[in-house]
Structure 1
């Protein structure tokens, strides 16, 4: 730890508290939180701030201190302002003396990938850690959907966070055998296959939801199928570019963020697969104690997650489908040894 609370017990300056002047508006000297464990000095004792995340405010209630987004602030809320009476606890490997910063990254080289995959598999098999997947549609395009489906089926996935595209292309592949119109077996473009993703959306719309098309027996495999069959919760967050979208996709940004945050509250490990925007959004919602692993073939994507403040993120530059293949193989080896 960067500093111990025992050394800070003699601290005398309590935090400065000001009431919010109106909904979503506070004094300009408000304290903006990091993702590191935070304590405030109030009533002659250190109090841990709950619901830790970056880019929030600290609100004092009768139940303690909590992180709260600016948009959720109500008139009269008691807001921590300034820097007095605030302690953050950070990992020693943070170079920034303030304990938080941007433009820092930890990207593993190829020779470390097997070690990291082994360690992740061990956490899942031997320690029963909860794994949340944050995935882009590249999981389907690279063939990683087969391995992700296996991980869901065998109870290694606690929740899935994604956008409309992952679900659409997964359903397209399992209904029509194509992914963005490309045959999943041969890799060749299928005549008129460009319309298959719209056909997939149309099929789901006809039943009303992903759950209903699965229960009707029309969708019989794939990532979304396994989520429904194994009661694995998922959130599909919409975007401006979405076709459709699917009826399950949440198109209200604030509602989608809240749904993401609710599932992330129980996460032990977050695995980001081929999605920069959803990965960064997820990192913004997490405390430092939740380890993140970002996998992408593009090193810039891997680096950018930790550049946005998620200092606990480890990056792997490799093919997402290959990574999932190796992870499933490593899990099977560990299970065979036990």
Structure 2
């Protein structure tokens, strides 16, 4: 049976609670980067605002941001740090139409299921959970998204330490299952180390044996990339022909690499400014319809906070955004749920095994 997106059910705005609701109130920001008192902060769910008697959807939402009424009537969801003096910022802390604000949590709920709006999420899962159906669902979803959606991968460095995991991810990229990659300096560094020297942090990526003076390997690779001036130029200079980063460059998959204070180097493309990095990440997320976060807690939480549960497509269709978070640690995969940011599918497993299962399930590797 072919994969089918769930239908979105709009709120029934003929109900008295909507008809009798007041228009939203707003207040102009007094200075750049500061919201008015009693500003409304957004969630991951579709949120509607009553303006001049009409309920309007804020289309590009994300968690913990303000809503600005633009001059053309469009609603912009803006991080408070990006507010400008004079922006008309919506006010209100209730979400059931009392102040002209309505959060629609169950827009994709099938008919006959519980339709009570509740800001709640699926319970955490453990190593004992069976994920067989989750994998089957994911295979169906990814086949659909390759042709009709936008798949963004958020990856920790664990993949770069294993020969098979690197090969599996490379195969997924080369077969059209990646439209964006977000990671840190470490993934790029050790994946390119594996491509050039067959090691990651000095250990052979197949045998895991430490190489003589191997602790220099990643530093040498960073130095070479910096000498080349860019990752694509390094790939050309050193005739790199394998790996995750290589396949993204070769296939034109956009990458956002954001750094941390502990980074070596870093690579030339790594963004050291945390807030510019956040902006670049959100730019990539804006097009995403499926996001898969793998073995990177901080990147996962950051991505979850900026990923809405829905996407308004160019034809006006409203569809769900799927988010998966995968890690060997139950604490990591459930932390996003604990933050109340997004109802994600969580899988507790080694991500190197996960990516190999996905590649084989999609038929891109034997």
- For the criterion TM > 0.5, the same-fold answer is yes
Say yes or no: does 1:302 pair with 2:322: no
Please, what is the CA RMSD of the aligned residues? 2.4
Deviation (angstroms), 1:126? 4.1
Residue by residue over 1:251-303, the C-alpha shift from the partner in whole angstroms, topping out at 9 and shown as x without a partner, is 11121111111111111110111000000000111111211111101110010
Instruction: Report what 2:5 is aligned to.
Output: none
Aligned-partner Cα distance in 2 for 1:320–1:10: 49
Say yes or no: does 1:100 pair with 2:138: no
Give secondary structure in 1 for the equivalent of 2:222: helix
Residue by residue over 1:12-36, the C-alpha shift from the partner in whole angstroms, topping out at 9 and shown as x without a partner, is 3111111111111232211111111
Aligned-partner Cα distance in 2 for 1:137–1:332: 24
Instruction: Report what 1:118 is aligned to.
Output: 136
Instruction: Report what 1:30 is aligned to.
Output: 39
Q: 1:148-167, aligned counterparts within 5 Å?
A: 148-167=169-188
Deviation (angstroms), 1:111? 5.1
Aligned-partner Cα distance in 1 for 2:25–2:341: 27
Instruction: Report what 1:77 is aligned to.
Output: 87
**Counterpart contact for 1:288–1:310, Cα < 8 Å:** no
**Counterpart contact for 1:152–1:230, Cα < 8 Å:** yes
Q: 1:112-261, aligned counterparts within 5 Å?
A: 112-126=130-144, 128=147, 129-143=149-163, 144-261=165-282
Instruction: Report what 2:344 is aligned to.
Output: 313
Q: Unpaired runs of 5+ in structure 1?
A: none
Aligned-partner Cα distance in 1 for 2:356–2:85: 51
Deviation (angstroms), 1:114? 2.2
**Counterpart contact for 1:139–1:273, Cα < 8 Å:** no
**Counterpart contact for 2:29–2:35, Cα < 8 Å:** yes
**Counterpart contact for 2:43–2:341, Cα < 8 Å:** no
Aligned-partner Cα distance in 2 for 1:42–1:109: 48
Aligned-partner Cα distance in 1 for 2:134–2:162: 21
Q: Unpaired runs of 5+ in structure 2?
A: 1-8, 311-320
Aligned residues: 333
Deviation (angstroms), 1:311? 2.8
Change beyond 3 A, Cα 1:126–1:14: closer
Aligned-partner Cα distance in 2 for 1:126–1:36: 23
Name the TM-score, length of structure 1 as normaliser.
0.92
Give secondary structure in 1 for the equivalent of 2:55: strand
Deviation (angstroms), 1:155? 1.1
Deviation (angstroms), 1:3? 5.6
Aligned-partner Cα distance in 1 for 2:10–2:327: 31
Say yes or no: does 1:5 pair with 2:25: no
Aligned-partner Cα distance in 1 for 2:202–2:339: 34
Name the TM-score, length of structure 2 as normaliser.
0.85
Deviation (angstroms), 1:173? 1.1
Mean alpha-carbon deviation: is it higher for 142-151 or for 81-90?
Answer: 142-151
Aligned-partner Cα distance in 2 for 1:125–1:50: 26
Aligned-partner Cα distance in 1 for 2:14–2:249: 48
Give secondary structure in 1 for the equivalent of 2:223: helix
Deviation (angstroms), 1:11? 2.5
Give secondary structure in 2 for the equivalent of 1:132: strand
Give secondary structure in 2 for the equivalent of 1:232: coil
